[in-house]
Amino acid sequence: MSKTTIIVGLDGSEAGARALAFAKQRAKLIGDCAITICYVIEWSPFSFQTAEENEQRHNRREEELSMAHKRIVDPAVKETRAEGLEVEGIVKHGDVSDILEALAKKQKASQIVVGRVGARGIKERLFGGVTGRLAAASSVPVTIIP
């Protein structure tokens, strides 16, 4: 029997912390289970930028990745590992629902766990929230934690 993997979308919010707590609880019940914590820095290739912004884009992107690891992912990984669970932390740029779905497919995950977050303005009203898009398009069960 292969190891069960749970993907957790972490965003630094209280709902994200509850999602991780839920995933840890489930992983302990399952036994032979790994958790992959993923923080996605939303980025669109369709955003408009000035020439100066494009020149600084790579450095800014590397700084964002490093900061996300230091502030959110690494502490969560350390805490989860201290509880005796197998865990991996990943930070990526892109669309949250696309990244989590691709990661679930790649790792043959049994489920994705995310926190429900409030509307973030007109973008979410037009395109739908991350959790809604993920639940609608995911190839594995999605657990949404309030």
Q: What is the CATH number of the domain that holds 96?
A: 3.40.50.620
pLDDT of 128: 54
pLDDT of 125: 44
10-residue stretch averages of pLDDT, the chain, 146 residues long: 89 92 97 96 67 73 89 97 97 92 96 75 52 87 91
pLDDT of 118: 44
Neighbours of 4 (CB within 10 A): 17
E-state strands within the chain: 4-9, 33-42, 86-94, 111-115, 142-145
For residue 96, list its beta bridge partners. none
pLDDT of 46: 57
Domain count, the chain: 1
pLDDT of 57: 74
pLDDT of 101: 95
Cross-sheet strand order for the sheet of 86-94: 86-94, 33-42, 4-9, 111-115, 142-145
For residue 111, list its beta bridge partners. 6
pLDDT of 54: 67
Distance from C-alpha of 87 to C-alpha of 30, rounded to nearest angstrom:
14
- The pTM assigned to this predicted structure is 0.84
